[in-house]
Amino acid sequence: QLRIHLLKLKRTTDWKTTKATAEAVHALLLGGPDLLGEGPAPVITVGSERVDPSAQEPGTGAFNATWGPEEVRPDMGRVTVTTTDDRVAWGALHWRYFERMDAVTPHESPFDLSRQVMLRENTDEGPVLVPLDQARTLRPGDVLTVRIELRTDRWLDFVHLKDLRAAGTEPLERLSGYRYQDGLGHYQSVRDAALHIFIDRMAPGTYVFEHELRVTHDGDFSQGITSAQCLYAPEFNSHSEGVRVVVGY
């Protein structure tokens, strides 16, 4: 149980040094029952179809199963995993599909994010942020504020956040570099189509990132989505809903 607790504790964080990693792997594999020994494979059922775990990876037992578009049925949204083995097992289920970026719905998890795109209006009382669905018609020259709220319930190492940008906008801050705010250090990379944020280590809590865009052209543009993923444990990922930016209509 102590080994399983240690694995869960370090599931989303690294061991800091290669020496510590080697010592941890040595202790986990050579102390107690054999974690990589042969054992009964779990029974996995997708809908009413039992998955054949053929071509397993030696040692870990990892395998992949793929269905084409014509094979997907509504009942496949229910996945059941049953095992008689007393050892720990890890898995992840990824759904890949094609959809218009502005029609993508948000994905929630213990690692969660949301995004707001707002028009910055200058008033006598100072700048005011107005959500796009309540704002006036956008015009070239307007400034949009993008607010991203990222929440996590655990420590995470090596987090990548990517915020796509509409084609008719340009970032006001064009220089990449290291940033520090609210106790969180991160590297911010400004690219042609998106803003990338790389975070070495993130504590449990809620973090807010903001950046500004200037509207440059008339048109109907897709703002895309914002996505975040822990690269140390890729199953911890999330994305926002898609947004459209309409200018001059």
pLDDT in tens, 53-65: 777 777 667 778 8
- Reported pTM: 0.81
Q: Is the pLDDT of residue 94 over 80?
A: no
**According to the per-residue pLDDT averaged within each range, which of 70-84, 94-108, 219-233 is highest?**
219-233
Q: What is the pLDDT of residue 41?
A: 76
Q: Is the pLDDT of residue 129 over 90?
A: yes
Name the pLDDT band for 15 (thresholds 50, 70, 90).
confident
> Which residues, in sequence order, are bridge partners of residue 43?
82
Domain annotation covers residue 217: yes
Clarify whether residues 117 and 54 are in a common domain: no
Clarify whether residues 74 and 128 are in a common domain: no
In the chain, the percentage of residues whose pLDDT exceeds 90 is 46
Clarify whether residues 130 and 20 are in a common domain: no
**According to the per-residue pLDDT averaged within each range, which of 33-47, 74-88, 140-154, 230-244 is highest?**
140-154
Clarify whether residues 233 and 112 are in a common domain: yes
Clarify whether residues 67 and 174 are in a common domain: no
Q: What is the pLDDT of residue 106?
A: 83
At CA 45, angle to CA 39 and CA 51, rounded to 5?
Answer: 70
Clarify whether residues 28 and 132 are in a common domain: no
In this prediction, residues 113-120 reach a mean pLDDT of 93
Name the pLDDT band for 191 (thresholds 50, 70, 90).
very high
Q: Which of 33, 49, 82 is the last residue of a domain?
A: 82
How far is the CA of 120 from the CAs of 56, 102, 190, in angstroms?
54, 22, 21
Considering the chain, what is the average pLDDT of its residues? 87
Confirm if 242 and 210 have CB atoms less than 8 A apart. Answer: no
pLDDT digit string (tens) for 130-141? Answer: 998 888 899 999
Clarify whether residues 123 and 223 are in a common domain: yes
Clarify whether residues 119 and 155 are in a common domain: yes
Query: In this structure, what CATH number is given to the domain that contains residue 171?
Result: 2.60.40.690
The rounded distance, in Å, linking the Cα atoms of 58 and 35 is: 12
Higher pLDDT, residue 103 or 249: 103
Domain annotation covers residue 87: no
Domain containing 8: what range? 2-82
Clarify whether residues 156 and 46 are in a common domain: no
Q: What is the pLDDT of residue 159?
A: 95
- In the block, tokens 């690294």 appear at 14
Q: How many domains does the chain have?
A: 2
- 3-state SS of the chain? CHHHHHHHHCCCCCCCCHHHHHHHHHHHHHCCCCCCCCCCCCEEEECCEECCCCCCCCCCCCCCCCCCHHHCCHHHHCEEEECCCCCCCCCCCCCCCCCCHHHCCCECCCEEEEEEEEEEEEECCEEEEEEHHHCCCECCCCEEEEEEEEEECCCEEEEEEEEECCCCEEECCCCCEEEEECCEEEEEEECCCEEEEEEEEECCEEEEEEEEEEECCCEEEEEECEEEEECCCCCCEEECCCEEEEECC
Name the pLDDT band for 119 (thresholds 50, 70, 90).
very high
In this prediction, residues 218-232 reach a mean pLDDT of 92
Name the pLDDT band for 83 (thresholds 50, 70, 90).
confident
Clarify whether residues 110 and 201 are in a common domain: yes
Cβ contacts of 171 within 8 Å, gap of 6 or more: 165, 190, 195, 211, 212, 213, 214
Clarify whether residues 71 and 149 are in a common domain: no
49-50 β-sheet, strand order: 49-50, 43-46, 79-82
Q: Which of 52, 82, 112 is the last residue of a domain?
A: 82
Clarify whether residues 180 and 132 are in a common domain: yes
Name the pLDDT band for 207 (thresholds 50, 70, 90).
very high
Cα–Cα nearest to 185, from 171, 173, 172, 197: 197
1-15, 70-84, 178-192, 204-218, range with the lowest pLDDT: 1-15
Domain annotation covers residue 241: yes
Give the strand pairing for 194-202 and 205-215. unpaired
